[in-house]
Amino acid sequence: MPDRPTSRFSLKRLDRITQHLDRNYIQPGKLPGAVTLIAHRGEVVWCQAQGLRDVERGAPMTRDTVFRIYSMTKPITSIALMQLYEQGKFLLDDPVHKYIPAWRDLRVYQGGCYPDFETVPATTTMTIRDLLTHTSGLTYGFTERTELDAAYRELKLDGSATLTLDKLVAHLAELPLEFSPGTAWNYSVSTDVVGYLVQLLSGKPLDEYFQDHIFGPLGMQETGFYVRPELQPRLSACYAYRPGDAMVLQDDPERSRYLKKPSFLSGGGGLASTVDDYLRFARALSQGGELDGARIIGRKTLEFMRRNHLPGNQDLPSLTIGGFSETPYAGSGFGLGFSVKTDVPKSHIIGSEGEYGWGGLASTNFWVDPVEDVVGIFMTQLIPSSSYPLRQELRALVYGALD
């Protein structure tokens, strides 16, 4: 039910979202369930929970379900670092080795297998901007594309019970890059390094910094790096796609690693949240960095962040070397922590130029449309996010309901 109606949206047409998801995904067993929320002009106009949050136990999906948001953590971490930018703690073109001295002489992969890599010196210097835009030359192990990805998996650099941000940064100093910084785009652990810099520059652990400077001010009481005991009954199960449009349990909410505080505070993908908690963050973005009197980022800083920062204003297909991202590539650039739509027709997806946002590994997604003053948040738990074209379909359903 909507919190407040608005004449710009047809609630009857928004109900097509429920029908579409139920008929095409939930009833056929492709998705366990979902929560979808649409806000317009700062108010929730439509929100629907449907299906199950735990198929094995028959627990219904509810609006207050807790989800693993994975890479929807990245915009929060990027805002955190840019708060420190506003305090004069660093400049975007500062070399990363100014803050991580072991990264001074980075090299680029040429051949071989871990630990016997063939490398050459990087031709450019990695900057903090490169980390925020994923043009750093770093990668992810789970993409399983290169020998360097394989090294990340062997060293468990995407996360493990013993990994910490300090250990991640130390391991990365010993590995080559995929390419010289600033010359290509590759989705990576860059934002985990951003989280490390937040800790270093603020003098606070990442979880404490988030609480003091983002979650606390915005009233995000159900977002964190682990699920507190009182929230555990609302934690969703997480599922993995299997060929044949099937899904299998990937993470049981009663035995999930999210029930304990992790040693690795992943600014790239470690948070759990609810749709209404994340809405408070998204609304702050849609309102120029402020919500209910709490400002988390300056208006001009946010405007700067949501511009396309890829070299020559290129879009992702022009620059990417990988095959994975949380957003379709065409017609989208990348800002300081968000994807940014630069060309609507080229994207083949309805929306507005300047729309920005991101998604998570378990098919969650959010976007902010500053032209139409719309915020959309979609929460479910199916890995990977590329299993179905949910995000594209959702845009068609939402914008089709806008008068």
Contact 31, 380 (CB under 8 A): yes
Q: Tell me what the pLDDT averaged over the chain comes to.
A: 95
Give the model confidence (pLDDT) of 381-403 as tens digits.
Answer: 999 999 999 999 999 999 999 99
Q: What is the pLDDT of residue 6?
A: 45
Q: Report the percentage of the chain scoring pLDDT > 90.
A: 93
Domains of the chain plus CATH, in order, are: 11-81+204-399 (3.40.710.10), 91-202 (no CATH)
Cα(387)–Cα(362) distance, rounded to whole angstroms? 9
Place of tokens 């702050």: 284
Other Cβ atoms within 10 Å of 299 Cβ, number: 12
Q: Which residues contact 116 (CB under 8 A, 6 or more apart)?
A: none
Q: What is the pLDDT of residue 328?
A: 60
Cα(146)–Cα(38) distance, rounded to whole angstroms? 39
Split at pLDDT 50, 70, 90, the class of 329 is confident
Can you give the pTM of this predicted structure? 0.96
CA dihedral 182, 186, 213, 86 (to 10 degrees): 10
Split at pLDDT 50, 70, 90, the class of 138 is very high
Helix (H) or strand (E) holding 59: strand 59-60
Give the model confidence (pLDDT) of 235-275 as tens digits.
Answer: 999 999 999 999 999 999 999 999 999 999 999 999 999 99
Helix axes 165-173, 190-202, angle to 10 degrees: 120
Place of tokens 């810099």: 197
Residue 205 exposed, middle or buried by CB count within 10 Å (0-12, 13-18, 19+): middle
Cα(162)–Cα(156) distance, rounded to whole angstroms? 9
Report the SS3 class of residue 390.
helix
DSSP 237: P
Question: Which alpha helices (DSSP H) does 61-154 contain, by range?
Answer: 73-86, 128-133, 147-154
Contact 275, 285 (CB under 8 A): no
Closest CA to 153 of 110, 194, 189: 189
Name the residue type at position 87.
Answer: Q
Split at pLDDT 50, 70, 90, the class of 8 is confident
- Averaged pLDDT for residues 60-74: 98
Tell me which of 1-5, 27-31, 198-202, 313-317 is least confident.
1-5
Cα(11)–Cα(5) distance, rounded to whole angstroms? 8
Q: What is the pLDDT of residue 2?
A: 44
Contact 332, 315 (CB under 8 A): yes
